[in-house]
Amino acid sequence: MTAITDFDSLRRAMAENGEQPEGPARNARAELLLAQAEKLNIPLAVIEALGHQLKVYNYSSEKDRMFVPFARLLRMWDERPEDFDAHETHSLHWVFKWMSAGMLDQPHVPLASVEKWLGEMEHRYRLAGHSERAVRGAEFSVAAHVGDEERAERAFAAWLAADRDSMADCHACELQGQGWWRAEQGRDAEALELWAPVLEGAYTCAHEPHAALASSLVPLLRLGRPEEARAHHLRGFRLVRAMESMRGAYADHVEFCALTGNEARGLELLAERPAYFTDKGQPRSRLDFLSVVVLLMERLSALGLGGQQVPGPAGREWTAAELAVHARGEALALAARFDERNGTSHISERARARMAQEPLVERLPLGVRAVRPPAPAVAPPAPPTAAQGSDAPDLAALLAEARRLSDTLQPHAVEAWAAVAVAAEGAELAARDRAEIADHRAMGLGPEGAETFEQAAGLYAEAGDPGEALAARARGAYVRALDGDIDEALAAVAEPYDRVLALYAEGGTEVRQAAGVLMGRARILMRRVHEAEGPVAERALTEAERAVRELLALVEGRAGDDVRLVARVAEGHAMLAELTTRAGDAQAGAELFALAAAEFVGAGLPWFAVEYEAKLAGLAHHLGDMAEAERALRAALEHGGRFLEPVGRAQLHLQLAEVVGGRGEAGEAAEHALEAAHWADEAGEGPAFGAWARHQLGGFLVRQGRWAEAAEVLESALTDLSAETHGDGALVQTQWWLGDCLSELGEHRDAAERRLQAAETARHWPEQHDHATLAHLAAESLGQAGLHAEADRAYARAGDLWRSLGNVHGLVRSLRARAWLALRTKDGPENGGHDGTEQGIDAARELMAGAVGECADALETADDEETRLRLVLELGHTHRQFGDLLARSAAEDADDDSIRAAMEEALSQMSQAVAVFVSLGDAALAPRTGAELAAGWLEADLGRPSRAAARARAVLRAYADAGSDPDFEGGDEETTVRARRAEAEQLLQAAEEAATEQR
């Protein structure tokens, strides 16, 4: 630690420490600074160091340590109040409120002491002439804490009725407390109305909207507004994540996860803050945290995951069930201590109620990735037997249901036949029944079912159904094709194909059985088409099409009400659609896919239509028919319903997000991308497909300006995005978007880091525009972060790139930015690399002059009117900024001649800007009037009121007709007009008064 040698160095050290992250390290530094302050032998230095120590304790997990420094401060005040300056006098009275809340948080402090302190606070505030508003607010906190609702309401009303003064909490904190009380009473809508100005950013402070966002989560869920709750979680958790002192708000976010089906996310939150289990400096927030830990652990146990390992207190491994018991015991013991102190049961009742909550939303996707807990092992249901009672279905009923499902092609028919097989063990079954059992067992085996299909064929033959026996053999041939052996499969289906046609011609079998064999053969030939590498051989396409048309010739017109036959026709049309598309006729293919999907839906089999609606969407997209693509995707999601596999659902939602987003509906697109991310995680595809969905979701959130939510999602996406899987373009775009988010959130160092990372990747691309743009953006972030030397280097890099690309506008803007940096760093090399005031100013002038020169050079070679107009506008802006820079370059302590010379030079540049803008006519009215007013103020400062007045009148004339024009749209333009008029009137008045004084 740098030695503290005087009061100023102490104050600088305290300011630096105040900027450090909350926690024990910052607290320890404050203690060392107090020791250093005591050596200065300056009472105010000790007072300020004690105040600093008290503040860092309050904003940490060591709140219980506040009382000692405050007691010392109070004693010093009572003994020598003259040692306190105005600021420290205010601070001393301000932290009375912290002491009141701090005592409530410590169950070892008797309630009588809390009440006595409340009276002391009231007395001292009255002596100091302060309103009783803060006192009544503190009284409300005491009454609400012990559960005295009647007193709490009285104090609440008195709090709001008292005048606001310098001792009142900030608006944001007051509204948070008021909303919290209404939510505690179940008046959620009123709570959210009170919080609205805080949530919308009208009022903020060090802990707001952090706390209000956390407090709003459960009320929003109870009101049926889960989408807002999700947004508040993503936005709010980002704010509290790094703030050690906000354990209570952190607990609200864990609670939200437990109540919305996001248990995995809740576990990740616990893992981020292991110290929260044991930090004892603020028992009340520890009680809140432990209560929601119980809620989360018992939720996991209810899902069958009680044996899963979970994050917990250090020193041992924990299962969910074990941690639930431990946390419950710790929480209730803490609650009992509070209740014993308070003489009520309120705290224990509240803790138990919080632990016992039931989920408010079954499933609320968040968009951020959380590793899902492993599914619990589920024992297979015992087969129904007579011993299970009369309610167990008998074998005949199981057979009838299985046959109904398979005859009508319903989902889960295979499972129904499996249940029949279990129930039929040891029973005498007819050959037909045994054939169907074997047939469906083979279907469930996939490529491994060929031999079982042969067994089924034998049983069908035994049952006297040679046609179905041949169809079973054809199914067996097809599953061989699934293993990749197309030739073997074709050989296996050849005999059944020849025999079934002959059998059907003789009347020995029905259309259904013959169609089954023809479908098996067509599927095998289609498999050959699917597996072809590169262009499909003409022969393969022709043979497949012939087989499909043979099937359709057999079945079309004979299907009637037979669902199986209708499905054969629909599948045949889908096969033709694919063949037609492969042959190059995408339009005809799309029409056939649409026909197939409609036939499946018409037959009452919408789940079979999903695959073809998805393919239709792809073709429509290729053909540029985005409306049809959107319709087909929506239909696929609707028709798939609960039968869609997670990965298929994810793919459909993501495709729909891209289509909807493409027509500008970023809000709905984000909803679909959110669903895609969720279902990708459900399918175990989080690192691959899920990461891409999160990438897209983040982009749609960025388009809506939802910066905090987008940042959380994009950071989550970057965990899994890789150049190998997703391409380096996705990586760069994600970092780019994230940099934009962080910049909007004021996190400029992190924004710069993301933009520099993206620029480094783009540096290797053949086309360098993105590299230049990212380098420029990174420079902006570095400058906003106060890293001026680094920003200058980044702007120089961007300028070189813009020059190499022939982009004059980018080059000029980089030069102007560097000029402003040079001016800001004019105080010396420690602030950015220049050797002193004159060198910094000279560098700024040189850079700005260079920007003017680049515009002028480019204008000489401009070869079209649009390019020329853009360059003229850029030149005008450059002269305007040059003028501003020169005006600001005059040092306050410089002699009058130097200041006047700088002002004259600035006026010259501003006048040139006006002239340039005038040449562009009405297209540059706003920048022209802005430059005219700036020049007018310079004229006034130089003692030329008549010229200043002339410029003001010129602006008023320019806007004389604004607003009366029927094409005048208002909005931003109207705001500009009003501001320009007001400033011109102000300048005119000042100029006329100055002219009068001169006379």
Mean pLDDT of the chain: 91
**Higher pLDDT, residue 572 or 375:** 572
Sequence letter at residue 209:
P
Model confidence at 830, in pLDDT bands (50, 70, 90)?
Answer: very low
What mean pLDDT do residues 178-191 have? Answer: 96
Q: From CA 418, how far away is CA 398, in angstroms rounded?
A: 10
What mean pLDDT do residues 329-340 have? Answer: 97
Q: From CA 712, how far away is CA 367, in angstroms rounded?
A: 9
pLDDT by residue (tens digit) across 94-121? 888 888 878 899 999 999 999 998 999 9
How confident is the model at residue 837, as a pLDDT? 60
CA distances from 502 to 210, 467, 468, 559 (A): 79, 10, 14, 20
Q: Tell me, what DSSP letter sits at residue 207?
A: T
Q: Tell me, what DSSP letter sits at residue 394?
A: P
Q: Reply yes or no on whether the pLDDT at 380 is more than 50.
A: no
Tokens at 417, concatenated: 């036949």
Q: Reply yes or no on whether the pLDDT at 61 is more than 90.
A: no
Q: Tell me, what DSSP letter sits at residue 84?
A: S
What mean pLDDT do residues 573-579 have? Answer: 96
Q: Reply yes or no on whether the pLDDT at 963 is more than 60.
A: no
> What is the H or E stretch that residue 318 is in?
strand 318-319
How confident is the model at residue 623, as a pLDDT? 95
List, in sequence order, every beta strand (DSSP E) within 773-890.
none
How confident is the model at residue 3, as a pLDDT? 73
b/e per residue 113-131 (b: at least 16 CB within 10 A): ebeebbeebbebbeeeebb
How confident is the model at residue 386, as a pLDDT? 40
Q: From CA 178, how far away is CA 387, in angstroms rounded?
A: 62
Q: From CA 974, how far away is CA 996, in angstroms rounded?
A: 33
How confident is the model at residue 995, as a pLDDT? 84
Beta-carbon contacts of 395 under 8 Å, excluding residues fewer than 6 positions away, are 420, 423, 424, 427
How confident is the model at residue 392, as a pLDDT? 52
Q: From CA 916, how far away is CA 935, in angstroms rounded?
A: 14
Residue % of the chain over a pLDDT of 90:
82
Query: Tokens 């959107």 map to which residue?
Result: 630
Q: Reply yes or no on whether the pLDDT at 124 is more than 60.
A: yes
CA distances from 477 to 448, 488, 511, 798, 800 (A): 11, 8, 20, 64, 66
Model confidence at 148, in pLDDT bands (50, 70, 90)?
Answer: very high
For the ranges 371-375, 383-387, 596-600, the one whose mean pLDDT is highest: 596-600
**Higher pLDDT, residue 997 or 845:** 845
How confident is the model at residue 393, as a pLDDT? 64
How confident is the model at residue 997, as a pLDDT? 80
How confident is the model at residue 373, as a pLDDT? 64
How confident is the model at residue 389, as a pLDDT? 43
What mean pLDDT do residues 414-440 have? Answer: 92
Question: First and final CA of the chain: distance in angstroms?
Answer: 62
Q: From CA 989, how far away is CA 956, in angstroms rounded?
A: 13
Tokens at 144, concatenated: 């609400």
What mean pLDDT do residues 844-858 have? Answer: 95
Beta-carbon contacts of 291 under 8 Å, excluding residues fewer than 6 positions away, are 251, 327, 331, 351, 354, 355
For residues 515 and 554, the answer to whether their CB atoms sit within 8 Å is yes
Q: Reply yes or no on whether the pLDDT at 853 is more than 70.
A: yes
b/e per residue 772-800 (b: at least 16 CB within 10 A): bbbbbbbbbbbbbbebbbbbbbbbebbbe
Model confidence at 534, in pLDDT bands (50, 70, 90)?
Answer: confident
Tokens at 371, concatenated: 């590793």
Q: How many residues does the chain have?
A: 999
Model confidence at 492, in pLDDT bands (50, 70, 90)?
Answer: very high
Q: How far is CA 67 from the centre of its chain?
A: 40
How confident is the model at residue 863, as a pLDDT? 86
Model confidence at 836, in pLDDT bands (50, 70, 90)?
Answer: very low
Q: From CA 861, how far away is CA 845, in angstroms rounded?
A: 25
The CA-CA-CA angle for residues 47, 49, 50, to 5°, reads 65
What mean pLDDT do residues 782-800 have? Answer: 95
Q: Reply yes or no on whether the pLDDT at 524 is more than 90.
A: yes
What mean pLDDT do residues 16-23 have? Answer: 89
Q: How far is CA 505 from the centre of its chain?
A: 65
Q: From CA 394, how far away is CA 54, in angstroms rounded?
A: 76
What mean pLDDT do residues 365-370 have? Answer: 90
The CA-CA-CA angle for residues 197, 202, 205, to 5°, reads 100
Model confidence at 893, in pLDDT bands (50, 70, 90)?
Answer: low
For residues 83 and 43, the answer to whether their CB atoms sit within 8 Å is yes
Model confidence at 896, in pLDDT bands (50, 70, 90)?
Answer: confident
Q: Reply yes or no on whether the pLDDT at 29 is more than 50.
A: yes
Sign of CA dihedral 440, 441, 447, 452: negative
CA distances from 663 to 618, 629, 657, 660, 667 (A): 17, 12, 10, 5, 11
Q: Reply yes or no on whether the pLDDT at 33 is more than 80.
A: yes
pLDDT by residue (tens digit) across 688-702? 999 999 999 999 999
Q: Reply yes or no on whether the pLDDT at 74 is more than 60.
A: yes
How confident is the model at residue 385, as a pLDDT? 44
